[in-house]
Amino acid sequence: MTVSVATLGFPRIGPRRELKHALEAFWSGKTNESELLEAAAGLRTAGWARQKALGTDWLPSNDFSLYDHVLDTSVMLGAIPERYRSADGEAGLATYFAMARGTTGDDHAGCSHGSVTACEMTKWFDTNYHYLVPELAEGQKLALNRLKIVDEYREARAQGYETRPVLLGPVTWLSLAKGRGVDPFDALDEVLGLYAAILGQLAHAGAEWVQIDEPVLVLDLDEKQRRALTRAYARLSRSGPKLMLTTYFGGLGDNLAFAAALPVAGLHIDLVRAPEQLDAVLKAAPRSLLLSLGVVDGRNVWRADLDALLDRIAPIAATRDLVLAPSCSLLHVPVDLALEKKLDAEVTEWLAFAVQKVEELALLKRALNDGRASVSEELARAAQAVANRKASPRVHNPAVRSRVADVTEAMYARATDIAARGAAQAAVLGLPAYPTTTIGSFPQTGEVRNARARFNRGELDAPAYDAFLRAETERTIRWQEEVGLDMLVHGEFERNDMVQYFGEQLAGFAFTTNGWVQSYGSRCVRPPILYGDVSRPQPMTVDWWRYAQSLTEKPVKGMLTGPVTILNWSFVRDDQPRADSCRQIALAIRDEVTDLEAAGCKAIQIDEAALREGLPLRKRDWNAYLAWAVGAFRLSAAGVADATQIHTHMCYSEFNDILPAIGAMDADVISIETARSQMELLEGFAAYRYPGAIGPGVYDIHAPRVPGESEMVALMRLAQAHLRPDQLWVNPDCGLKTRKWEEVKPAIEAMVAAARTLRAA
């Protein structure tokens, strides 16, 4: 029996974000289309060469994308909404980027398209990767467009790489699609016809296997999806290449029997998220089914415990051929640990990025095929690293442990209920009706970013940088006073990022210099790495708050990122439950909250922008998540007196299914995103009898457009239909960091005027 190694997808951005730079040069008109395509081809070639050299037997192709693989699939199927169709009817790169990014009408990359907004973008399952939502309209005719998947298979082949093309499965694509006046599943047969043709062409080009991704198989499936899967694979299994049906981001659970019975040649399962499913899968999978085991974490940055894996896999490998793979595409981890020059050596030893993960798989393969003795030295080194991590005092801080153990129920609850607190806060704050505020950040101008960059490069010394930030803060406080805002903020000029800023000051976090992961298109993020018990050595924001408050009589909000958001936007520990890590972060934030209060701060905002996106993929897991996530927020907030007002902010507009949890957070004031949705979601808050105060965003900060006073008054009138006047605050949808001062000034002036109009009425 033999073991082989597959990668299901390799990072597309390149080791040094080459794709980002190539895209941005093209979009800005500095390079032309052929230069962009050449750069992309270079990245693909380098990726194949790299993976091959590392020991991959099953190389992926078509895992590369210029922007997004879901968009690639939509374009391939001809699912191009009418508004992007150019006059010449050609669906080329200009159409592609118009769908991805929208156009302004005179945009270089989308010249023939007039002005259109981009397709809707949303998160890919529970990752931080964003895909472009496929759209299907009534009467839309699908047809194969450019077959990138066939081209890239041929391109690899011409270079001597035999690949297994990656194809997003039809049922997942349809499940992600949005129908305009139609049910996307009505197009199933049409879509399957196109998929069959694609598979036929791949077979013709020489592809023996195709990796067909159906991550929907780890979700709660409805009848329609199940029927579609049955129908799809009955048809596609007869269309040419053998299919490796690929599932990831969770276990098959109740879909297992169903999935194992689909007429495919191979099945990939995620054994990192769902190690417990292995035995059941082995039982359900006929010998003729080639199993691909996702044993190395494609979603996190830790080294695998190779010895433990070998113990588990060796008996299976003795009885059947196996493919070993990362749990999912390596798109979700940074490229190469070897590029980290500044990362602490001890922590570095514990990590594996995409390149290192393929090395781990290759090592497992050799141990299984040639015996452990053949790689005993490598295995011993790997085992030592895993043991070092387990034993490190950097990971385990007894003080943190005992503090967590001493947390009492009372620490999760404010002393009094929300109504009584409201009265105490009103007496202290003395705010007018319809109080106005902002969400925290003010424009991060080129000047601000430039000063930070110079400071980081050592070109600006600490006192000079500090003086610069103080001047920005003072200017912003003065401007807020002038314009007449009621509750001020300091502007967050000192913060690079709402999570990184805190992570850098907390014990237990490490930061990379090059650990980029694609977020969408050319955008990449560098998530902090949470490796150890979390504590807060010293106050993080108190000095900035104190300085800002010293400049004004108006209340200045303390501004913090909440524990759930810090957790959800980091690579987190895999040696303890997420809930435990979150509780530690909550205690650190709690320290900051109480220090702010002690310094005289009367209102503290704890942002939980990422609370909703942490929801598990399976509904039955929601309550458990919400219980600990809400608990962590409460633990961070509840250490203050009644008269201290706790705000929270969440920038999304889907609350209805989690309203009880939002209520249970027990924040005095919550600001949410509503400007685009006509206050619709307040219906839910009203029906639920949400007891606290709400600031429904009246200014959509995602667009450069400046709204006028009457528009904001009209939005607030809609809000008044749902909530009591004393519940309402007036604020933008989110922070203003991405906007320009020229936009912010008139918009906030109009917002303050709108509040005055409401008060006068």
Q: What residues line the site for ligand GLN (CB under 6 A)?
A: 439-441, 492, 498, 559, 607, 609, 649, 651, 734-735, 737
119: annotated binding-site residue? no
Q: Contact at 8 Å (CB) between 81 and 68?
A: no
Site residues (CB under 5 A) for Zn ion, limited to 655-674: none
607 known ligand binder: yes
Q: Which does 498 bind (CB under 5 to 8 A by kind): ligand GLN, Zn ion, none?
A: ligand GLN
Q: How far is CA 475 from the centre of its chain?
A: 33
Rounded distance between C-alpha atoms, residue 620 and residue 222, angstroms: 15
Q: Which is nearer to ligand GLN, 50 or 490 (CB)?
A: 490
Which C-beta is closer to ligand GLN: that of 386 or that of 751?
751
Cβ proximity to ligand GLN: between 389 and 495 the closer is 495
Residue 440 binds: one of Zn ion, ligand GLN, none (C-beta under 5 to 8 A by kind): ligand GLN
* Residue of closest CB approach to ligand GLN: 735
Tokens of 681: 């979601």
Smallest distance, ligand GLN to C-beta of residue 712, A: 19
Q: Which does 11 bind (CB under 5 to 8 A by kind): Zn ion, ligand GLN, none?
A: none
Active site residue 702: yes
Contact map string, positions 588 to 617, toward Zn ion, x by CB under 5 A: ---------------------x--------
The partner in contact with residue 744, picked from Zn ion, ligand GLN, none with C-beta cut-offs of 5 to 8 angstroms by kind, is none
Minimum CB–partner distance for residue 559 and Zn ion (Å): 12
Residue 371 CB, shortest distance to ligand GLN, in Å, is: 52
494 binds, among ligand GLN, Zn ion, none (CB under 5 to 8 A by kind): none
Q: Say if CB 383 and CB 306 are below 8 A apart.
A: yes
Q: How many other β-carbons are positioned within 10 Å of the β-carbon of residue 60?
A: 25
Q: CB nearer to Zn ion: give 67 or 633.
A: 633
Judged by beta carbon, residue 609 or residue 693, the one nearer ligand GLN is: 609
Q: How far is the CB of 232 from ligand GLN (least distance, A)?
A: 38
Selection from Zn ion, ligand GLN, none that 441 binds (CB < 5 to 8 A by kind) is ligand GLN
Q: Which is nearer to ligand GLN, 329 or 438 (CB)?
A: 438
Q: Is 154 flagged in the annotation as binding? A: no
CB neighbours of residue 510 within 10 Å: 24
Sign of dihedral through CA atoms 330, 526, 342, 562? Answer: negative
Between CA 274 and CA 71 the distance in angstroms is 29
Residues 685-744 close enough to bind Zn ion by CB under 5 A: 734
CA distance 261 to 667: 49
Q: How many C-beta neighbours within 10 Å does residue 180 have?
A: 12
- What are the distances in angstroms from CA 741 to CA 396, 488, 705, 746? 45, 16, 12, 9
Question: CA Rg, the chain, in Å?
Answer: 27
Query: Is 440 assigned to a binding site?
Result: yes
111 is in an annotated binding site: no
Contact 281, 262 (CB under 8 A): no
439 annotated as ligand-binding: yes
Residue nearest Zn ion (C-beta atom): 651
What are the C-alpha distances in Å from 88 to residues 75, 91, 113, 143, 677?
16, 9, 10, 17, 35
Whether residue 311 is annotated as binding a ligand: the answer is: no
Minimum CB separation from Zn ion for residue 357, in Å? 33
Site for Zn ion in 619-658 (CB under 5 A): 651
- Whether 33 has a binding-site annotation, put simply, is no
User: What minimum distance in Å lies between the beta carbon of 714 and Zn ion?
Assistant: 22
Backbone torsion region of residue 69, taken as left when φ is above 0, otherwise alpha when ψ lies between -120 and 50, otherwise beta: alpha
What is the Cα–Cα distance from 332 to 5, expressed in whole angstroms?
19
Which uninterrupted H or E stretch holds 10? none
CB 642 within 8 A of CB 425: yes
Total residues contacting Zn ion by CB under 5 A comes to: 3
Report which residue type is found at 388: N
Q: What are 517's strand-pairing partners?
A: 525
609 vs 675 by CB, closer to Zn ion? 609
Asked whether residue 569 is marked as a ligand-binding residue, the answer is yes
- DSSP assignment of 606-659 equals EE-TTTGGG--SSGGGHHHHHHHHHHHHHHHHTTS-TTSEEEEEE--S--GGGH
**From the list Zn ion, ligand GLN, none, partner contacted by residue 737 (C-beta under 5 to 8 A by kind):** ligand GLN
The active-site residue, picked from 21, 108, 130, 702, is 702
In the complex, which residues of this chain contact Zn ion (CB under 5 A)? 609, 651, 734
Instruction: List binding-site positions for L-methionine.
Output: 439-441, 492, 607
Q: Which residues are catalytic?
A: 702
